[in-house]
Structure formats: C-alpha cells, structure tokens
Amino acid sequence: MATPDRIAVRGIRAHAHHGVYDFERERGQVFLVDAVLELDTSAAAATDDLARTVNYADLAQRLHRVLSGEPVSLLETLAQRLADVCLADELVDAVEITVHKPEAELGVPFDDVVVSIRRARR
C-alpha cells in the first residue's frame, strides 16, 4: 500500500471557552488546532481541479467554527468533533487532529498541553 498523500493545516487559532473548570468557561483562552488529512490527491494533480481535492481554506473555516463554537469539557471531545468535520469529506481517508491548550493552568511552568487523535474512515 502506498503512503497516503497529506494535506496539513496547522495553527488554526481561536479564543474559546472549553474546559472542565468554571473559570475556563467564563474567561476563555486561546486554543490551536492542527489537522493533517490523508487522501489520494492524484486525481486533483492530474486534472488541476480543486473539486478533486480538499479545499483547505474551506476546511479551515469549518474547523475554526467548531473550535470557537460550543464549549466542551475535554480536549478529547473537541478533537473528535474536529476529526468528524474532516471525515465528512468523502475524499478524506484519515485525519490526525492535534488540539493545543497553551494557556492551561497546571500550577507548574510548561510550554503546551496537547491532545492528538487519529481517526480513519471505517
């Protein structure tokens, strides 16, 4: 099996209100998302036709709406919702979603909190 082609959109940023704690829901914080799609881009390359691949500008808008939308408690839930957006496109075979929460309050110095998931079409 050939290595799948990949399209990546990294660093989609939004101020959102996800989190378990009331203070996270009230004041919100910055979240970032990376999405790496696996798909076959050969038809798009052969025809130079955007309709035969994923329009990453449209995808970024859809992911941003979820990221900045309805709050959830867990980053795992948010990552799944974002993966579902990607897999709704029939061209996408699999996706890796990484959610960054760099402003989480851990009580110790840190650079980032990250949850990554990979989901594939069944």
Catalytic residues: 101
Joined tokens for residue 60: 């970024």
Tokens representing residue 26 in the block = 């009230």
91, burial (CB in 10 Å: exposed 0-12, middle 13-18, buried 19+): middle
Question: Which sign, positive or negative, has the C-alpha torsion 114, 95, 72, 30?
Answer: positive
Q: How far apart are CA 4 and CA 38, in angstroms?
A: 6
